[in-house]
Structure 1
Amino acid sequence: MSETSAGRAPEDAAGPAAPAGPPGAPAATLPYEAIRAIPVRHYGRWAAAVVVVALLGALAYGFSQGKIIWNTVGTKLFDHTVVTGVWHTVLISVCAMAMGLVLGVLFAVMRLSKNPVTGAVAWAYIWFFRGTPVYVQLLMWFNLSLIFQTINLMPFYKNDTVAVMTPFVAALLGLGLNEGAYMAEIVRAGIQSVDPGQTEAAHALGMTGAKTMRRIVLPQAMRVIIPPTGNEFINMLKTSSLVSVVQYSELLRATSDIGISSNAIMEMYFVASVWYLVLTSVFSVGQFYLERRFARGSQRSLPQTPWQKVRTNLTTLRRPKVAR
């Protein structure tokens, strides 16, 4: 009998030879021993998990022993003024992000244009609003009446600058124009990621440049544009806390006012932090599903949903059965 396990060549290419037997007897088959799989033990993972849990427990214990009135946090969490501030935060964030997205697409197309004038204007816009802090821009818009006492767009519109630059308008212009500069670069990167052959093929079919951009380029660029856009919106939710400087009553200003009047400053900061975490978590889930939708056709398998990830992690915690 040939012994392939010993390193010698088998007598038959189809497999190991059966042991010799009497003429006419059926050929005997070799018994195969079942493989016994032993799972690898990851002791380092368990040790790291214990250390992390211990640190989190120590942190929670430290905060529990601090001079914080936790009942105030729970009581003020759904206070009418706080909920109104949450609504104002979402409103200014959505409006500023919509404004930034429109301006981003516009200036990205202008930046990629072969017209030197539009390209220079787009570059200057991006250079200025990305190069100056958004806090300074908010103050500039809010104090615009120090330069122009009236806004005169005759014969269309004329009014006092103080009446026009309300806290909401100043916050919208400050956040929206600043976001438009960042979105212009994101959209430009997405447009340039599309194969130029797509544009050439569209032009060969007689499509105009605007129609090619709207029907061919932008839908394919969305796969690259969506992830950083979602991150920008999450950042916008937190950056909206700066608009309190222009007297706009958003979440941070609402909680700060309550904290000063009730002498519960730190407690109200915790209330604001809880709401910011809730808002960012909700919009992060929405961003995930939006990315998952635009990933269709570009990946072999779609990323797992949060519930699928939880189920996968729970099943991996169970020790696999050993085959005997």
Structure 2
Amino acid sequence: MIFKSFGLIIISETTPIGPPRCKLSTGQPRSRFEFNNMLKLVYHMKKILAVSGGVDSMVLLDIFKNDTDILVAHFNHGTRASADEDEAFVRKRCEELGVDIVVGHAKLGEKSSEEEARKARYDFLFSIREDIKKRLPNEPVFICTAHHLDDLVESVFINLSRGTGWRGLTPFTMPQVSRPFLNDDILLPESRADILTYAARNKITFRADPTNSSEQFLRNRIRAKLETLEPETHFQLNQKIKSLYFSQQLKRVEIEKVLTELSPKDGVFKRSWFLKLEDRLACEILKFALLKHEIKLTGPQVKDFLKAVREYAPEKKFNLPEDKLITLHKDWFKI
């Protein structure tokens, strides 16, 4: 049974949540002492826990609540009326646990995109990390998010639908950001089903995000499709994508090492160079250079950019996302 009161949800142990599609781990080894020591062994660094108030992040907070090296970070996007209630809920729980919390605010509005909200949230998280590093320059500091295996699978499908190519298999690749639920070094909950099971057994309260059921968002539509699969099929799909994710992460390091060596150190590219390169390699170099400046282009957009580099008249400008312009000079351009 699921009890709802004042926007909070408590899942009882009898809640029918379906069979786990991945390994079932409650995050509770033989003793709480042993579990805490395992966490310290794997996560022996300062940790900024990104906690929204949803079930995933509240389970993450519960798992690390006895760690003395955590700081909770909550970002109020200002995108819906209940955002202030989410903030108050997370503040109250941190007060009960005696955990420090930092809250950031924005007024993005209901019409803001998922990408805008994500950028604002990560800017906030990294600003906290930078502040800690200034005071503790020799301490490793990581941002920990509650992304799990189902989030990974959904993100891969979203990326592939947008033509992101091989990079679409490694959506959660970001320096100084850790995803504990995707870490195989310790048995934490891995899938959405695992997290719900942990929440039920440990009587975790959390906030429900009403946008998670809106078909306005591509992620929700993909999630709904995946949930129609038979449990065993869903499990096998998740495990296959997880395997691809980890193997592709290793390949990504090698690929980006080569691309770094190929790219000019001063960021100035010769247009004649791209006339000689094969299309796929030329697109990879352009996309890599743009990503270093946090400019994301789809596959077709990169091809359009390559065409412009090869064919535009001198001094003509090429439009990039967010009204950014690149001037293509006679012989060169700079990103």
| Bigger helix share | 1
* Higher CA-based Rg: 1
TM-score (norm 1): 0.21
Structure that is richer in strand per residue: 2
